[in-house]
Amino acid sequence: MRVYRLLPSIVVFAMVIAPGIAVAQYPNGYTHRPVMELFTSTSCPPCMDNADPAIDELYAEEGDTDEQPWVFLAFHLASGGDRDDKFVTDEAVERSNHYQVQGTPTAEFDGGYISIVGADSGTKGDYDQAFDDCGARDDEFLSLSDFKQVIMYVHQDFDGTGFAVNVSIEYPFDPDDRSLGLDGTLQVFMVEDDIWAFSSALDETVMIHNVFRGYAIKDMQVQLNPDESGTFLGRWDIPADVEVPVDPMNVQAIAVLYDNDDTTSQRYPDGNNHAGSERAVQAATPRSTMYDLEEEGPSITNPTLSWNGKAWEVEARMDDDDHFKSAWVFYTTNLTENSTEVVSWQWEEMILPGECVGPVCDIYESGIAKGEIPLAKDDAFFIRFLAYDGNGTQSISDVYFSGDLGGRAGGGNSDSTPLDPTITMFALAVAVLLVRRRR
């Protein structure tokens, strides 16, 4: 077995987070990235009529951006109506018990600093204000609680069966910090975006966002002194026994650090003052990390296909100054414009550009990544690429049709034109059924 050795340039990330670097400046002038945990259900009328549309609109306007001024995730519960939500898990119920949630919808901001129960036509404005008020939390010299400034980054790496997660936390020296240390709890929630799901409350199929799927890190205790930093590792395996299988291309880690010393601060009188829940002091995603560290994911260009007599050989040019960690090609035969058919994506790992001497391979900064797709010569299919550089920064390509890359339908096309954007968005929206590749 060959061992891939990442070249020395990847130490840049460690240098960026070393003690002494100034605290990051967050979007909207916030002191940190607030987090919203929404407890909802596809069978709950006020959830589907008001709460979910409210956060979906805010997410489209502000949250689903490179800077991500705030993050949110949705825990689905069996509540209201037919109680037929397909995304209910024991861990989601356990999380609702942590906040002593009594019904849906309930939104907990920054671990209960603000708690909003129920929803109506004004909920979008309520949620927007809650993010702003959480983002304004800061040290107050005579306050009973002490808001701790924390720097946090998270990277994730897909490996074919799940995700490895790496969280870096720095606790800068703060002269107003009376506790003289950080005592926190780290959670890394794995969420899936853009899922089509049937809502019995609306009697129609709707798109739901950032659905909680499991933990990569759960209840990990973090103790840091001022000017100390630490790295925390976790893993999440994609479950095979869920009713709606997971699409890895739509999965992201949401890391949240909660302060064990603060269970009472609140926006009076709207805080969760009955559960004793730890208040959040920082949240991060791979996307927000790219923004904060000014990272760029790998460039993926010039995909080609050729038939070798047994399978389709696929190639793509990949470029990144930080070299590469892994690359994958995803493929499907049943993506059709305007179709309601479930899309089944499969995937194969690609061989990275590099040079091998014995069992060790040095990975280049640029070159051709190669892979093989085990489909028949007459199959028409669609492909997409996922790649990680040496820092763990991710890039996902456009969706390409085989007929435009030298495949069966339409002959070759040297321009390697991506699929029409309408179809591309359709692919993202309906990719709810993933079939794992056979090993």
2, two tokens: 């060959």
pLDDT of residue 407: 64
pLDDT of residue 180: 73
Closest CA to 258 of 332, 196, 184, 193: 184
Task: Say how many C-beta atoms besides its own lie within 10 A of residue 140's C-beta.
Answer: 12
| The model's pTM | 0.85
pLDDT of residue 80: 74
Report the percent of the chain where pLDDT is more than 90.
Answer: 69
pLDDT of residue 139: 53
Do residues 279 and 260 touch, judged by C-beta distance below 8 A?
no
Domains present along the chain, CATH in parentheses:
11-292 (3.40.30.10), 299-434 (2.60.40.10)
pLDDT of residue 395: 94
d(C-alpha 418, C-alpha 424), whole Å: 8
Residues of the chain with pLDDT under 70: 1-24, 139-145, 175-179, 336-343, 355-363, 407-439
d(C-alpha 219, C-alpha 391), whole Å: 25
Do residues 394 and 387 touch, judged by C-beta distance below 8 A?
yes
